[in-house]
Amino acid sequence: MPSEMAGSLHSARALGLPRFNPQSAIPNPQFQGNPTPDSEALLISRVTDAELVEAARAGDHAAFGALVERYQHVVVRTAAAVVGRREEAEDVAQEALLRAFRGIADFRGEASVKTWLLTITWRQALSHRRSIVTHLRRLVSTSDEVPIDPPSSAPRHDEALEARDFQQEVSRLVRGLPAKYREALLMAATGDVTYEEMSHITGVAAGTLKWRVSEARRQLRAKLARRGQ
């Protein structure tokens, strides 16, 4: 992750964006001086979310960019758990992050920055899924939902094909689950959030979410068993 962060900082620099200075947020004297890209990424990784939020509130766009770098994957995964498709999930994630930037002055720190960002993303994704434009777009679109990466551990060609078929079958069955089961299952499967965080994000009790995940797995196993897999 630090190397990705450094690379994106360089790309932000190429775009001419204002740069976040992590040395202003860390009073540690050992980090003073001209930082190299690696040390800069290391510095940013040591800056807390609260410090980045404070800097972003003060108008530092690069500080908010560092937050984006830190949580971009989990934000996109949360959006994908609701909307399904990668393109739509990234659109929703962009809108959610922009909304978070506009409302960063309202962040009171009662929850973690991650939970706050994911709550905004969750609501944005639900709103996106309910919009009539989304329904119309899905009517005319024929592309598949979340692209599937086949497991790389398959040593032989036929096993890889079999794993790919199984993955596609699971993908199709997951899409056929009721929304509340599918969302809980996919969010829990990311491994990025705990059930308590999921409860805060979705407004559903943690016990209910655990039951939904269990029920989703039970239904998937039953359907796979009926297909002889």
Partner 1 sequence: MTDLDDAVRNLARLDASSGFAATVRARVDADAPAAARWPRLAVGAAAVAAAALVVWFVGARPGSPIAEVASKPTSPTEAPQARTQPLAADPGAFAAVAAIPRSSVSAGRRARRPAVRPPMDHERALAALELPGALEVPDIDPPPLGVAAMAIQPLEPPSELTVPDLPAGGAGPGDR
Nearest Cα to 195, choosing from 127, 115, 107?
115
Q: Please list every residue from 115 through 154 that binds partner 1, using CB under 8 A.
A: 146, 148-149, 151
Tokens of 29: 């004297």
| Contact pick of 1, 17, 136, 222 for partner 1 (by CB under 8 A) | 17
Tokens of 80: 């994908």
Tell me how far, at minimum, the Cβ of 28 lies from partner 1, in Å.
26
Q: Is 185 in the site for partner 1 (CB under 8 A)?
A: yes
In sequence order, what DSSP letters do the residues of 151-195 get, joined into one string?
A: PTT--SHHHHHHHHHHHHHHHHHHHTS-HHHHHHHHHHHH-SS-H
- Rounded CA gap, 4 and 9, in Å? 9
- If the CB atoms of residues 17 and 205 are measured against partner 1, the closer one turns out to be 17
Q: Is 52 in the site for partner 1 (CB under 8 A)?
A: no
CA dihedral sign of residues 185, 188, 192, 193: positive
| Contact pick of 6, 12, 55, 209 for partner 1 (by CB under 8 A) | 12
| Contact pick of 72, 199, 208, 219 for partner 1 (by CB under 8 A) | 72
In sequence order, what DSSP letters do the residues of 2-21 get, joined into one string?
A: HHHHHHHHHHHHHTTPPPP-
Tally Cβ neighbours within 10 Å of residue 158: 8
| Contact pick of 61, 123, 138, 180 for partner 1 (by CB under 8 A) | 61
Q: Is 155 in the site for partner 1 (CB under 8 A)?
A: no
- If the CB atoms of residues 11 and 112 are measured against partner 1, the closer one turns out to be 11
| Contact pick of 43, 44, 68, 125 for partner 1 (by CB under 8 A) | 68
Considering only the stretches 38-46, 68-76, 114-122, 136-144, report the one whose residues sit in contact with partner 1 under the rule CB under 8 A: 68-76
Given a contact cutoff of 8 angstroms between Cβ atoms, the answer to whether 80 and 189 are in contact is no
Tokens of 74: 């989990």
| Contact pick of 6, 55, 75, 209 for partner 1 (by CB under 8 A) | 75
171-208 core/surface letters (b: 16 or more CB in 10 A; e: else): eebbeebeeebbbbbbbbeeebbebebbbbbbebeeee
Residues that bind partner 1 (CB under 8 A): 8, 11-12, 15, 17-18, 59, 61-62, 64-65, 68-69, 72-73, 75-77, 80-81, 86, 89-90, 93-94, 97-98, 101-102, 146, 148-149, 151, 166-167, 170-171, 174, 185-191, 217, 220-221, 224
